[in-house]
């Protein structure tokens, strides 16, 4: 699963990666609000979400490169 998600460049894999990045970014931006710790202003949340996605994209690419260097032993069909 991880190998397919991080190493495959099909349209479906890219879509799933983008959706996953968006969900993680949403959770990071709104986690204080969800835990009733701090109310996140909308303008700040709108800045945090793309920033987190911009950080996650190269991190996921590096993880995919690492899995490719390992020879794809993690691929499960």
| pLDDT attached to residue 77 | 47
- What are the extents of the domains in the chain? 2-69
pLDDT digits (tens, 9 = 90+) for 42-64: 899 899 999 999 999 999 999 88
pLDDT digits (tens, 9 = 90+) for 1-20: 777 888 888 999 999 999 99
| pLDDT attached to residue 66 | 87
Tokens of 74: 């993690």
pTM metric for this prediction: 0.78
Q: What angle do CA 17, 23, 25 make, to 5 degrees?
A: 100
């Amino acid at each position: 699963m991880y190998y397919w998600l991080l190493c495959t460049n099909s349209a479906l894999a890219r879509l799933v990666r983008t959706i996953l990045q968006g969900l993680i970014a949403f959770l990071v931006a709104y986690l204080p609000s969800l835990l009733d710790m701090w109310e996140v202003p909308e303008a700040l949340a709108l800045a945090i979400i793309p920033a987190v996605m911009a950080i996650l994209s190269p991190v996921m690419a590096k993880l995919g490169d690492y899995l490719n260097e390992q020879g794809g032993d993690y691929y499960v069909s």
